[in-house]
Amino acid sequence: MAVEIIMPKAGMAMESGTIIEWYKKPGDKVSAGEALLEIETDKVSMEVEAEASGYLLAILHDAGAQVPVITAIGWIGERNEPVPAFSADNSPRNQAVPLQRADTPLAAPSGNNSTENGTKTGALRATPAARYKARREGIPLSQLRASGRRGEIRLRDVVRGGAEDESCSQSLPAAGTTITRPLSAMRKTIAERMTESQRNIPPVTLTRPADVTALLELRKKLNQREEEKITLTDFIVKAVAEILKRSPWMRTMLINNELHEFEEIALGLAIALESGLIVPVIRSADRKNLGTLSREIKELSERARSGKLHPAELHGGVFTISNLGMYGITSFNPIINPPQSAILGVNAARQELSLHNGTLRERMMMNLSLTIDHRVLDGAQGALFLNELSGKLESPYHLLV
């Protein structure tokens, strides 16, 4: 019996996914567990695996299509098996692009794989996703350098070529011309969530300086003898996790006019990508020591930048940390990620003169910016949080325990 290939629901908030590339074409043999296609959600790219062995009977949605979750996008079955008819009461399936069927009977595997994973026109070969994006961006395939193993142009080649083309167009602007591009799934989600935050949440941003002189000295000592380097972000995550454990109001959210207090200390860490912003979640952060947190943060950051995060790692955070200190920013108003009630902005550490007992001394000072949802939290609660965090960073040795 034929088996549906469906657009997976890879997270509670996921409503649709965009097909980036099919790895197989109708008529190809597939094995259970084999990657069939790549999709893009609102946050990450991921592969969809075959749930059964057989042959790819049909593709219902081509590369570039945005498809609702739990909707059929293809069929796997036995050789010569007819493709099941669409159900009249399943509207997403009825909106499919023209059906691609395997020839009947299905062709046996051929020794000529010159067009495998790509289509060919003359001397140019390109994957369907690459052709779709190149056509949408107006980029001639003949101007792109192919990086595929069989000499085909892949999606990344089009993206790279578009970036190079944009760089050239910026250096030599043409009067009166503009470049119009649709929002990516990630950028669209960021736009929607930030607009929702500003529309529905009355934000209050509190800023407090912290003396991080001792913290920077401690980090320097640790990094002199440890192979795995500790960052300021690692210390801040550790300190915030300890405070949240004792501050249930900071992990309370307003959902459907009810206050929900969450038990797990799940911290979101904002990571900047070329395509936008992504916030992987560190689970049970209060139960992990500094070294474990440091390794997990590095591993999550690396997988975020390589697009290998699982959607489940992007949901469930109760508090977010956004660090712009590496860009030299000394103050900003971070925007709350709904339905969370608070977000911490970390700024650059800078050298300042401080008067202590009548003596001037140089200190390293860092501003901490906390934005709170005033429907859930009051200014005094935010101030207490910042005061405690500042104290932990100014006396950092206990964070090693």
**pLDDT single digits (tens) 305-364:** 887 888 788 889 999 999 999 999 999 999 999 999 999 999 999 999 987 788 888 999
Mean pLDDT over the full length of the chain: 83
Q: Which residues are marked as active site?
A: 374, 378
| Residue range of the domain that includes 4 | 1-109
pLDDT exceeds 90 at position 147: no
pTM of the model: 0.65
150 and 257, same domain (yes or no): no
Q: What angle do CA 163, 184, 138 make, to 5 degrees?
A: 50
**pLDDT single digits (tens) 262-273:** 999 999 999 998
Q: Domain end: 60, 78, 109, which one?
A: 109
**pLDDT single digits (tens) 155-172:** 777 777 655 554 444 455
Q: Which SS3 state, helix, strand or coil, does residue 40 take?
A: strand
pLDDT category at 197 given cuts 50, 70, 90 is: very high
End-to-end CA distance of the chain: 58
271 and 198, same domain (yes or no): yes
pLDDT on residue 128: 66
Residue 183's contacts (CB-CB under 8 Å, 6 or more residues apart) are 191
123 and 89, same domain (yes or no): no
Tell me the helix, strand and coil percentages in the chain, rounded to 5.
30, 30, 40
Domain count, the chain: 3
Task: Read off the CATH number of the domain in which 335 is found.
Answer: 3.30.559.10
23 and 122, same domain (yes or no): no
Written as six digits, the tokens of 11 are 């997270």
